[in-house]
Chains A and B, each alone.
Chain A
Amino acid sequence: MRNRDVSFWLFLTPVILSLSLVVIIPFVYGFIFSFTNWNGLTASKFLGFSNYIKLFQDAEFVNAIWFTIQFSVVTVILLNILGLSLALIVTRKLKSSNFLRTIFFMPNLIGGLILGFIWQFIFISVFDDIGSALGIEALNGWLSTTTTGFWGLVILTTWQMAGYIMIIYIAYLQNIPNELIEAAEIDGANSFQRFRNVTFPLVAPAFTVSMFLTLSTSFKIYDQNLSLTNGGPHNSTQMVAMEIVKTAFSENQMAFAQAKAVIFFILVATIAIAQVYYNKKREVEM
């Protein structure tokens, strides 16, 4: 197939058209309008960088970024520990191995919005009930403070995504040749030593993949945030994605929200590119 073949272009037309109209044009359009006083329909004035200057003085936005970063760091660490642990459990020759995989993976299939509502019930009603029954006051009012709201979101996301990360680790664990493990066993390595010196270095690439996935996913979380805490109390558990949606559609400040969205893009893209770069560098070494 050559570039000048009609069929080459016919095969590409639908996707080029959709990508342009849905992603590329809106992206460019949005970037340009972030420098104006655009209200969603028309822009009458070019404002230069003033939207961008304003957003760094916007306490709510800065707070949302900070909250998102903290949330992502904690979630990425917990998810990788838990995902690897689950993978190590289900790759042993257990009778329940397939059943366990099915159960651990299940939350991923149900949308974040619905899962957030289910956990809202658990944090509000179930935790309260257990707290009163056992006299543990710390369990009461879980979604009504910033700290417990933070941990609520972490628990929800970790529970939801651990099965997904488990699948990634399983894929890499299964590639480890059995002979290596057996050889270590014959050499007298105990199970911890085998894990530390054989298994762990060989699943290291899985960590790169899952770190990329967990980091970029946790940075973009919206549904869980909306349905679990709705950003409360007092917008203190509001993450970046949600803050942008609110600025745009509840407060109707389109250009200002778009400037925030551009900063959001830069953050997400930087993380992704840094990750790919790091990944490549490691591949060369290995």
Chain B
Amino acid sequence: MKKKQRDLFLVEILGLFLALVWIAPFYLMIVNAFKTKRGIFEGVLGWPEEVTTENFVDAFIELEFLQSLFNSVLITTVSIGIIVLFASMAGYALARNKSKLSNVILLIFVAAMLIPFQSVMIPLVSLFGMAEMLNRAGLIFMYLGFGCSLAIFLYHGAMTGISRSLDEAAIIDGANRFQLFWYVIFPLLKPISVTVGILNVIWIWNDFLLPSLVLGESSATIPLKMFFFFGQYTKQWHLALAGLTIAIIPVIIGYFFAQKQIINGVSEGAVK
């Protein structure tokens, strides 16, 4: 028994050591963001001799942070809203319709996941450009197109756990299909909606390439703005690091409040 406890203690030490290694990059980013340009030049490992918060103010202004945060929040929430709504409807319809046709439709959605973004990117931008849809609305519609496959797949799987007798009961009570779905089925799908939401938040919030092809600077999301900002201050690490720190703050706050759901959601999405 003694040996077991000692082993456990050693594993714990190893784990904590690895955790230190894991957060070291963030530590180095934050600690250097508080240094002056000169301070970074003198050494990146130590504590700042002269603490400055000016970098953060400058980066905040330069990143037009409130504007880019607003753009990111808007695009992410609307995209996820429509993915959850439309994919759950589709998952429901396909699961309740047992026909060859619905199998084929499901298969097409699943097969579409094989196509890497780069393989559709050029014609997509060209077609949406011709339709003058290279803007936020176009981007949100694209997220529905790229995001719905996995979501439908997950919703379709979850529907097998929801009894058909609920449908019948609601129809007898006089509900139409939309009422039945919205009041009876959709609430029951909540756990899978959370999973779908989390998987898509991580993806859409952080996406860079697609927004860079679709959005202009005035409607830039945080990663896109960060890219422009970084290009401008390549040689000025104090500013660049402050900008990176600011960009990460919303994610860390979100993670702090929802870590359990996030880790569970990812684990469900990954195992299926």
Contact B178 A261 (CB under 8 A): no
State the majority secondary structure of interface residues on B: helix
Q: How far, in whole Å, are A110 and B86 apart by their CA atoms in the complex?
A: 27
Complex: A58 Cα to B54 Cα, angstroms = 48
Q: Are A110 and B120 in contact (CB under 8 A)?
A: no
**B165 interfacial contact with A, CB 8 Å:** no
**With A and B bound together, what is the CA distance between A4 and B213 in angstroms?**
40
CB-based nearest A residue for B177: A7
Q: How far is the CA of A101 from the CA of B25 in the complex (A)?
A: 17
Chain B interface size band reads 35 or more
Give the docked Cα–Cα distance between A73 and B58 (Å). Answer: 42
Q: Do B87 and A171 have beta carbons less than 8 Å apart?
A: no
* Docked pose: A170 CA to B207 CA in angstroms: 27
B206 is contacted by which of A29, A110, A244, A261 (Cβ under 8 Å)? A110
Cross-chain contact B244 with A117 (CB below 8 angstroms)? yes
Q: Give the residue of A8, A122, A167 whose beta carbon is less than 8 angstroms from that of B270.
A: A167
Given contacts A30-B119, A104-B19, A117-B230, contact A272 B126 (CB under 8 A): no
Whether the Cβ atoms of B28 and A3 lie closer than 8 Å is no
Measured CB to CB, the closest approach of chain B to A193, in angstroms, equals 15
Which of A44-52, A86-94, A145-153, A195-203 interfaces with chain B? A86-94
Residue A53 lies at the interface, judged by CB distance under 8 Å to chain B:
no
- Bound Cα distance A220, B114 (Å): 11
The answer to whether A30 and B223 have CB atoms under 8 Å apart is no
Verify A265–B119 contact, CB threshold 8 A: yes
Is A67 located at the chain interface by the 8 A CB criterion?
Answer: no
Is the CB of B12 closer than 8 A to any CB of chain A?
yes
Choice from B12, B92, B118 contacting A11 with Cβ under 8 Å:
B92
Stretch from A17-25, A135-143, A176-184, A277-285 contacting the other chain:
A17-25
Say whether B90 contacts A12, CB under 8 Å: yes
**Chain B stretch 229-272: residues in CB contact (< 8 A) with chain A:** 230, 237, 240-241, 244, 247-248, 251, 254-255, 259, 262-263, 266-267, 270-271
Q: Give the residues in chain A near B109, CB-CB below 8 Å.
A: 15, 19
Alpha-carbon distance between A164 and B40 when the two chains are bound, in angstroms = 33
Q: Give the complex CA separation of A209 and B266 in angstroms.
A: 13
Interface presence of A33 (CB below 8 A)? yes
- Assess whether A105 is interfacial by the CB under 8 Å rule: yes
Contacts of B241 in A (CB 8 A): 121
Q: Is the CB of A11 within 8 A of B19?
A: no
Find out whether the CB atom of B12 lies under 8 angstroms from the CB atom of A109: no
Judging by beta carbons under 8 Å apart, are A22 and B86 in contact? no
**CB of B78 within 8 Å of the partner chain:** no
Contact A109–B15 (Cβ < 8 Å): no
- The contact of B12 among A96, A108, A111, by CB within 8 Å, is A96
Residues of A within 8 A of B142 (CB): 18, 22
For B207, list chain A residues within 8 Å (CB): 111
Residue B202 contacts which of A108, A122, A213 (CB distance < 8 angstroms)?
Answer: A108
Nearest-neighbor residue (CB-CB) of B99 within chain A? A3
Q: Which residue of A lies closest to B85 (CB)?
A: A14
CB-CB contacts of A263-283 with B at 8 A, as 1s and 0s? 011001100110000000000
> Would you list 16 pairs from A and B whose C-beta atoms are within 8 A, ordered by A residue?
A12-B105, A14-B86, A22-B124, A26-B121, A26-B127, A41-B130, A96-B15, A96-B19, A104-B22, A106-B26, A110-B206, A112-B208, A114-B248, A129-B45, A240-B118, A261-B121
19 more A-B contacts (CB under 8 A) besides A117-B226, A126-B45? Answer: A11-B177, A12-B105, A15-B152, A22-B120, A24-B108, A24-B112, A26-B121, A29-B127, A92-B12, A105-B263, A111-B205, A111-B208, A121-B240, A126-B28, A159-B25, A191-B7, A222-B118, A244-B118, A262-B119
Closest 6 CB pairs of A and B: A22-B145, A111-B206, A11-B93, A7-B177, A18-B145, A26-B123
